[in-house]
Structure 1
Amino acid sequence: MKYIFICYPRCTTCKKAKDWLDKNNIEYDERNIKENNPSKSELKEWISKSGKPIKKFFNTSGTLYRELNVKDKLPNMNEDEQIELLSTDGMLVKRPILVGENTVLVGFKEDAWSSLGGKDGI
């Protein structure tokens, strides 16, 4: 199975994740989140598939998140409004994201990624 690896090439965490994927011979298509940010429909699908709350998809340590004061806005927004906001700029989205047929991983934690198969494929 080939995965979609959504990342920002200058992000050190994304670089670590990419190195891990390469080291473990996991096939993927790389997608630059800055140049090709996720659409509303992709985000809805990924959030649902991940089983995580939508707030886990926000890049809370990002400059844009702070500049837009998203932390204070989120409690007053419904899920559709939050997804709309995420879809406006890839830099608002936590990365990397690894998307597979039945898997969506947000952020890179090697133990979580390894638990999905490692060298034998996720």
Structure 2
Amino acid sequence: MFYTYPSCTSCRKTKAWLKEKGIKYEERHLFKAPPTVEELLEIIKMTNNGLDEILSTRSQKFKELDVDIEELTVTQLLSMIHEEPRLLKRPILTDGEKLIVGYNKSMMEQLLA
């Protein structure tokens, strides 16, 4: 599964790499078809650093929230991310077991191994 946004440079580089390697993938536009709360939970389970790994805390959208995420329940936080997928780092690439956030060529090479 490849969660992407077309104008994102890292997303375009990742997509080009996947095509170059002949890897089949299902592409999901992060803003038109955001991950469900259940999918977000599965994504978080694959992370090494939990939400820090997928949450774009430096994004303008996150700064506009003016919310202390430490005070939110997991359910509230996942619902918020589902409603506002711009809070996610991108791209997000997963085979259902491993997760890659951002353009990371060495991790993508490992995914093939």
TM-score bucket (shorter structure): 0.7 to 0.9
Stretch of structure 1 that moved more, 27-36 or 101-110: 101-110
Partner of 1:44: 41
Give the aligned residue type for 1:52. Answer: N
**Is it true that 1:7 corresponds to 2:27 in the alignment?**
no
Partner of 1:85: 80
1:58-73 paired onto structure 2 within 5 Å:
58-70=55-67, 73=68
Stretch of structure 1 that moved more, 61-70 or 26-35: 61-70
Partner of 1:31: 28
Give the total of aligned pairs. 113
Gaps of 5+ in 2: none
**TM-score by structure 1 length?**
0.82
Gaps of 5+ in 1: none
Deviations 1:3-61 (A, max 9, x none): x1110000011111111111111111211101111111110011113343122111223
Partner of 1:102: 97
Following superposition, the deviation at residue 69 of structure 1 comes to 3.0
**TM-score by structure 2 length?**
0.87
Percent sequence identity over aligned pairs: 28
Partner of 1:55: 52
- Give the secondary structure class of the aligned counterpart of 1:94: coil
How many angstroms apart in 2 are the aligned matches of 1:85 and 1:112?
28
Compute the RMSD of aligned alpha carbons: 1.7
